């Protein structure tokens, strides 16, 4: 192995050692990654693992929001390396999931080192860049956002391989770059979108600088990269797009998006890591997002605005990066421009740039919080600072004394601004210690650069990398290390362990257990039990009416009243259609058990004595029963027409017994008289799995099997093996029409064919015929039957195959006319209603 290769091997070893040391608090299990990493993503991994190890598909999730298309949720982790984690263990624990997340940072660092190696840059620069990429800025402070960490890691891989593709004209590098970029985009968050624009910028910059020869040399690799990426993302992104269109957030308004802007004062954290007290538990955070004296409508939490990358990288970017113009070198000029772009993007409302991008740059309207660009600020800053270190270590006969003096003066000026700002806000006593500490780290950085420059020839590569690793890793470990935003005791999230002994969880699991064949599958509501509770059903297997997810089907949310989560009792928002726990929609949902940390009357003030029954008082709160909750599946003999949109707005239900008539917003496929019908039928729920539901019904009369799971266009149904239509019933749910007799009704979730059918309907919607057919010849002895256009097609009833399945017998001559007349009569009655 030559000296160059040995240097990069040493850099890789040093990076692994630093990674183990910096990640050890989580790897040891003494702390765990908190907040979204547990309340949202831990539950997602648990659900995925339980589904796979029980032989089920994870594509539909019935544990939250009365059902949700998990396959289309970009945060489900189905299309990510988490699938490997789920395959390895039926119940991945906290340490296992934390290690999985941290491994992304390790892989990202290796990709950065390989990027430096391909260019022949100094291995010490690659080592520092890897450390800063993995543990600087948002990569460290926002590690709880697992989806964005995954996007950042795949960005690092795609960045390296795209650069190799352009540098070498390598077809294989192009293929793998496309695959990595595709895996990055599979979780379409804002980090992935911005990372995609960085990759596009790299390609455009290469073509512009190299002219037609560069374009010609990279056309085939770039085409292969595009093809590989499209192969990865086409179907999953189709699902995600269709799902997003049906959710509460298909697009984010400019005003909402800019509430997640990075306040300009937060740029000071690039120099003074803990200026606002984000890391010190003894200091109340006084930054621009929680300080009432500053802007009041910014919605970032204290960790989202931290962009500290380390004193040495920041000093290098200033001196000699800016002072000697090295950041404008041809090799890194596009990255410098992209870093400036990311800073302007992150500032959001504080520059006019973001509004222009919002209006004209594809994808921006899909995301809130432009401060997500801090992930890319850290990534690009890491690579640029590593490049500057490379230039310093390879430059001959240059004195950097003047540069370091300028850099020191700028750092002192920034420290003075930080002190004056803290004094004006009345927090000088909180700020002086972190400012002095920051000056100490910058002093250490200056000393390190002097040593590296003065004794560059005498220092062995091992000594140089030990010095860089020691200073940078120590700096990032102290200033970006475990804190209340990134590391909390695992015991706080015990409720998300499958083996938890939590009293409330144990009671709910016991109460919701049902014997085989029971039509009941009762739902629960975890009313404000804490931030980590809403997705607990995904871990423990019971069904929650709500959940924790920013993406929720809009139809369900409008009817039931949902937010991103329900951490506190005050987060419960009632709607006209769900005005109380004692309501028809609560009963139809099968909402039988409600757990609350406070007496339920403090939340639902419309309740009267006896509406709900107090079952138990646990350590966590109160558990109530709704005695009127209906079974998950039931048979209803009659039907009635209803306008669901008007019902959601008014909250008024037709005065009809839901156990005698199902509400439909369209005519049933087989004509049936409108109105209630009392039918005693036997209904069994013989199979209930994530994507398969089987119901056996024996009924003396025709009617409807009603499944009180949320209606979604990707579900399909069969009656005795023959396809039949799933009707949208009772505003939110599913119904299938069945004849008298004993039948098996099967519901199956088919996302691929369902999404294709939905897409086809969006692209080529079927328009009603605009012209009337010519009237039939007049015969005075033959009574005239006037039918609507296409009535023979629309109202004639099911096909012969379906009629046989439903036991209706063969179609006789004239039957179409008779059915059409009956259906027309029913339509007439409905309109008169």
Q: What DSSP letter does each residue of 376-434 carry, written as one string?
A: HHHHHHHHHHHHHHHHHHH--S---HHHHHHHHHHHHHHHHHHHHHHHHTT-HHHHHHH
pLDDT at 790 over 80: no
Burial class of 489 by CB neighbour count within 10 A (0 to 12, 13 to 18, 19+): exposed
pLDDT at 386 exceeding the cut of 60: yes
Answer for the pair 751, 714: CB distance below 8 angstroms, yes or no: yes
pLDDT at 833: 31
Dihedral angle sign, alpha carbons of residues 597, 602, 603, 609: positive
pLDDT, one tens digit per residue, over 699-719 is: 999 999 999 999 999 999 999
Q: For the residues 428-438, what does the mean pLDDT come to?
A: 96
* Six token digits for residue 175: 């293929």
Strands (E), 18-83: none
Query: What backbone torsions phi and psi does residue 415 show, to the nearest 5 degrees?
Result: -60, -40
Per-residue pLDDT tens over the stretch 74-101: 999 999 999 999 999 999 999 999 999 9
**CA dist., res. 246 & res. 370, Å (int):** 23
pLDDT at 458: 56
Closest CA to 371 of 277, 258, 261: 261
Q: For 706, phi and psi rounded to 5 degrees?
A: -110, 120
567, 637 contact by CB (below 8 A): no
CA distance 715 to 692: 9
Q: Of how many residues is the chain composed?
A: 833
pLDDT of the residue at 454: 77
For residue 768, pLDDT beyond 90: no
Q: Is the pLDDT of residue 635 over 60?
A: yes
Question: Residue 170 in contact with residue 515, Cβ under 8 Å?
Answer: no
Q: Is the pLDDT of residue 787 over 90?
A: no
**Is pLDDT at 797 greater than 50 in this prediction?**
no
Query: Which pLDDT band holds residue 290 (cuts at 50, 70, 90)?
Result: confident
- Cβ atoms within 10 Å of 401's Cβ, excluding its own: 9
Report pLDDT for 251: 77
Q: How confident is the model at residue 457 (pLDDT cuts 50, 70, 90)?
A: low
Describe the strand order of the beta sheet including 622-625 as a list of residue ranges: 543-544, 523-526, 591-596, 622-625, 613-617
pLDDT, mean of residues 507-511: 97
Measured distance CA(562)–CA(547) in Å, rounded: 8
What mean pLDDT is reported for the chain? 90
Q: What is the pLDDT of residues 660-692, one digit of tens each?
A: 999 999 999 999 999 999 999 999 999 999 999
Residue 274 CB neighbour total at 10 angstroms: 23
pLDDT higher than 90, residue 799: no
Q: For position 463, what pLDDT does the model report? A: 81
Please tell me the distance from the alpha carbon of residue 595 to that of residue 589, in angstroms, as a whole number: 16
* Backbone φ and ψ of 727, nearest 5°: -90, 140
Distance CA 486, CA 727 (A): 46
Which two structure tokens, joined as six digits, stand for 271? 């120099």
Q: At 672, give phi and psi (nearest 5°).
A: -145, 145
Residues 735 and 521: their CA atoms lie apart, in Å, by 17
Of the candidate ranges 74-78, 144-148, 455-459, 746-750, the one whose mean pLDDT is the lowest: 455-459
pLDDT the model gives residue 188: 86
Which is nearest to 597 in space by CA: 623, 627, 631, 564? 623
**What order of strands is seen across the sheet that includes strand 661-664?**
633-636, 703-707, 733-738, 727-729, 661-664, 638-641
User: Does the structure show a pLDDT above 70 at 794?
Assistant: no
Place of tokens 């890897």: 130
The H-assigned helical ranges of 516-643 are 536-540, 554-560, 584-588
Name the pLDDT band for 3 (thresholds 50, 70, 90): low
Lookup result for tokens 């890691």: 153
Backbone CA torsion sign across 668, 671, 673, 677: negative
Please give the pLDDT value at position 1.
60
Quote the tokens at residue 562.
């949902």
Residue linked to tokens 């069969």: 718
The answer on pLDDT for 382 being more than 60 is yes
CA 587 to chain centre: 30
The tokens describing 91, both together, are 């119940």
Pairing of the two strands 715-719 and 741-749: antiparallel
Whether the pLDDT of residue 800 is over 60: the answer is: no
Helix, strand or coil for residue 115? Answer: helix
Mean pLDDT to the nearest integer, 245-271: 91
- The pLDDT assigned to 764 comes to 81
Tokens of 470: 């020691």
Q: Are 693 and 746 in contact (CB under 8 A)?
A: yes
Per-residue model confidence (pLDDT) at position 767: 57
Interhelix angle for 123-135 vs 3-27, to 10°? 20
- Of the pLDDT bands very low, low, confident and very high (cuts 50, 70, 90), residue 456 is low
Report residue 775: phi and psi, to 5°: -65, 150
In the 8-state DSSP scheme, what is residue 42? Answer: I
CB 576 within 8 A of CB 568: no
CA pair distance 629, 389, nearest whole angstrom: 67
- Most confident segment among 278-282, 396-400, 583-587: 583-587
Q: CB neighbours (10 Å) of residue 305?
A: 26
DSSP 311: H
| CA distances for 94 relative to 87, 139, 678, 810, angstroms | 16, 19, 52, 60
């Amino acid at each position: 192995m030559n000296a160059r290769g040995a240097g990069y091997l040493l850099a890789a070893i040093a990076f692994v050692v630093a990674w183990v040391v910096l990640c050890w608090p989580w790897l040891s299990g003494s702390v765990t990654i908190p907040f979204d990493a547990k309340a949202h993503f831990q539950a997602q991994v648990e659900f995925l693992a339980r589904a796979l190890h029980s032989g089920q598909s994870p594509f539909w999730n019935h544990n939250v929001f009365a059902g949700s298309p998990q396959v289309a949720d970009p945060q489900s982790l189905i299309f990510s390396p988490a699938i490997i984690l789920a395959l390895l263990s039926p119940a991945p624990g906290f340490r296992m999931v934390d290690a999985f997340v941290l491994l992304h940072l390790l892989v990202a660092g290796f990709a950065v080192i390989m990027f430096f190696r391909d260019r022949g840059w100094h291995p010490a620069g690659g080592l520092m860049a890897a450390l800063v990429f993995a543990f600087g800025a948002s990569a460290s402070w926002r590690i709880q956002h697992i989806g964005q960490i995954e996007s950042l890691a795949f960005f690092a891989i795609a960045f390296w391989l795209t650069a190799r593709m352009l540098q070498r004209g390598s077809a294989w590098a192009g293929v793998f770059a496309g695959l990595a970029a595709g895996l990055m985009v599979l979780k379409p968050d804002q980090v992935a979108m911005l990372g995609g624009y960085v990759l596009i910028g790299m390609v455009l910059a290469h073509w512009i600088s190299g002219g037609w020869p560069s374009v010609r040399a990279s056309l085939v690799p770039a085409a292969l990269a595009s093809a590989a990426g499209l192969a990865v993302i086409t179907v999953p992104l189709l699902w995600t797009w269709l799902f997003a269109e049906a959710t509460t957030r298909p697009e984010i308004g400019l005003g909402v998006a800019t509430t997640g802007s990075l306040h300009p004062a937060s740029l000071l954290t690039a120099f003074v890591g803990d200026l606002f007290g984000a890391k010190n538990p003894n200091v109340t955070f006084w930054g621009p997002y929680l300080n009432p004296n500053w802007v009041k409508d910014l919605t970032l939490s204290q960790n989202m605005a931290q962009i500290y990358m380390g004193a040495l990288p920041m000093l290098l970017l200033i001196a000699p990066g800016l002072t000697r113009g090295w950041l404008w070198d041809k090799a890194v000029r596009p990255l410098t421009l992209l870093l400036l772009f990311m800073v302007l993007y992150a500032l959001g409302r504080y520059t006019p740039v973001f509004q222009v991008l919002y209006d004209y740059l594809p994808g921006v309207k899909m995301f809130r919080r432009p401060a997500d660009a801090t992930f890319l600020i850290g990534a690009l800053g890491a690579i640029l600072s590593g490049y500057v270190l490379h230039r310093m270590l390879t430059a001959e006969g240059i004195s950097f004394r003047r540069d370091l003096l300028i850099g020191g003066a700028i750092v002192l000026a920034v420290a003075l601004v930080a002190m004056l700002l803290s004094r004006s806000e009345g927090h000088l006593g909180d700020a002086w210690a972190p400012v002095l500490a920051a000056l100490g780290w910058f002093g250490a950085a200056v000393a390190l650069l002097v040593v590296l420059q003065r004794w560059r020839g005498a220092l062995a590569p091992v000594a140089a990398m030990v010095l860089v690793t020691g200073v940078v890793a120590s700096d990032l470990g102290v200033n970006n290390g475990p804190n209340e935003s990134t590391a909390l005791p695992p015991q706080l999230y015990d409720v998300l362990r499958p083996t938890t002994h939590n009293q409330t969880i144990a009671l709910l699991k016991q109460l919701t257990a049902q014997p085989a064949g029971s039509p009941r599958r009762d739902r629960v509501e975890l009313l404000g039990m804490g931030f980590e509770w809403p997705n607990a059903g995904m871990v423990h297997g019971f069904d929650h009416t709500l959940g924790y997810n920013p993406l929720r089907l809009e139809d369900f949310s409008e009817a039931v009243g949902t937010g991103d989560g329900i951490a506190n009792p005050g987060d419960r928002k009632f709607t006209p259609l769900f005005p109380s726990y004692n309501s028809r929609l609560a009963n139809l949902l099968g909402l039988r058990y409600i757990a609350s940390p406070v007496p339920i009357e403090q939340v639902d003030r419309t309740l009267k004595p006896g509406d709900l029954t107090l079952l138990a008082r646990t350590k966590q709160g109160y558990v109530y029963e709704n005695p009127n909750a209906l079974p998950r599946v039931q048979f209803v003999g009659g039907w009635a027409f209803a306008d669901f949109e008007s019902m959601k707005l008014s909250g008024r239900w037709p005065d009809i017994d839901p156990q005698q008539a199902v509400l439909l917003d369209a005519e049933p496929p087989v004509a049936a008289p409108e109105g209630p019908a009392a039918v005693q039928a036997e209904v069994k729920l013989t199979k209930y799995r994530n994507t398969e539901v089987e119901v056996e019904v024996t009924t003396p009369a025709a009617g409807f099997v009603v499944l009180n799971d949320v209606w979604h266009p990707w579900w399909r149904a069969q009656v005795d093996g023959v396809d039949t239509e799933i009707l949208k019933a009772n505003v939110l749910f599913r119904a299938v029409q069945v004849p008298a007799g004993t039948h098996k009704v099967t519901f199956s979730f088919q996302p691929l064919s369902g999404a294709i059918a939905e897409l086809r309907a969006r692209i080529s919607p079927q328009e009603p015929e605009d012209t009337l057919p010519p009237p039939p010849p007049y015969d005075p002895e033959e009574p005239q039957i006037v039918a609507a256009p296409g009535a023979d097609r629309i109202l004639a009833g099911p096909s012969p195959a379906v009629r046989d399945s439903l036991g209706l017998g063969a179609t006789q001559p004239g039957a179409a006319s008779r059915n059409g007349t009956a259906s027309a009569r029913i339509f007439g009655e409905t309109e008169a209603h």
